[in-house]
Amino acid sequence: MNKDSSGNPSAETTGSIKAKWRQALRGERDRISPAVRLSAGVSAAAHVSSLPEWGNASVVAGYLAVQSEFDCSTLTAKAHAEGKIIVYPRIVGPGLMLFKRWQPGQHLAVGQFGILEPPADAPTVHPEDIELFLVPLLGCDEKGIRLGYGGGFYDRVLAQSTGFRCGLGFSAQYVTGLPSEPHDQRLDGFLSEDGVIARFETTKR
C-alpha cells in the first residue's frame, strides 16, 4: 500500500478504494427491484417523522433523483403538506451548487448531468438557512461517513451549514468501513425504507 510522508495511506490509494466501493455500491443499488423502489419512498416518509429534526425544520433541502437513486419526492411532498419550504440544488460550476426554492407545479429545467433543477431565477436559499438536508449517496457507514459520486458538491455545501444531514438511501446502502478523507462531511443520520437506521455523533458544530 502506498503511504504519504506521515505513514498514512496516500490520497491516491484512498481514491482508488473509494472508486471500488462506488462501483460495488452502484451495482447493488441498480439491482434493487422495482417493487422495493416503488414502496421505499412511501415507507421513508412514514418513518421520517420519528426524527425530531424533521418536525423542527422549516426549510428542507431535497434532491431530484437520477438513475437508480432513492426517490425523495414523497418526502418533499410531505414537507410541502406540512408547510415547510422546499429547496433543490442547482449546479453552477465544477463542484459548486446553490439551493433554490421550489414549490410543486413549478418549472424544472434539465441541468448538468441530465439532472432536473430549478431555474436560475428561482430564489436562492443559503446553506446556513437550511435546517435539514436529505442527502443522496452511494453508501453510508456506521460512523456516518458518506460515499458520494466524487464531485465534492455536498461536501462544500454541508461545510457551510449546521443543518441536520440525513443521508437517504436503501437499506442495502448501509455498510461498514467506508474510506474517508479530511474534506469528507459526515452525516447525522441515515434514513431508508426500513426507517431511521442510524444516528451518528459528529463534530461538525
Q: Has residue 204 been placed in a domain?
A: no
Indicate the number of domains in the chain: 1
Q: What is the pLDDT of residue 204?
A: 53
Integer angstrom CA distances of residue 185 from 60, 93, 144, 175: 18, 20, 9, 17
Domain assignment of residue 159, yes or no:
yes
Residue 67, in any domain of the structure: yes
Angle separating helix axes 34-47 and 73-81, nearest 10 degrees: 30
> Could you tell me if residue 1 is inside a domain?
no
Residue 3 lies in a domain: no
Asked if pLDDT for residue 113 goes beyond 90, the answer is no
Residue 205 covered by a domain? no
Is the per-residue pLDDT at 198 higher than 90? no
pLDDT per position as a tens digit, 39-68: 999 999 999 999 999 999 999 999 999 999
Is residue 85 in a domain? yes
Tell me which residue range forms the domain holding 26. 11-199
CATH number of the domain within which 165 lies: 3.40.50.10420
Give 198 or 189, the one with higher predicted confidence. Answer: 189
Mean pLDDT to the nearest integer, 161-167? 97
Question: If you average pLDDT over residues 103-116, what whole number do you get?
Answer: 89
Q: Indicate the pLDDT class of residue 201, thresholds 50, 70 and 90.
A: confident
Please check whether residue 78 lies inside any domain of the structure: yes
Identify the band that residue 184 occupies on the pLDDT scale cut at 50, 70 and 90: very high
How far apart, in Å, are the Cα atoms of 87 and each of 16, 32, 33, 113, 175?
33, 27, 29, 19, 28
What's the pTM?
0.89
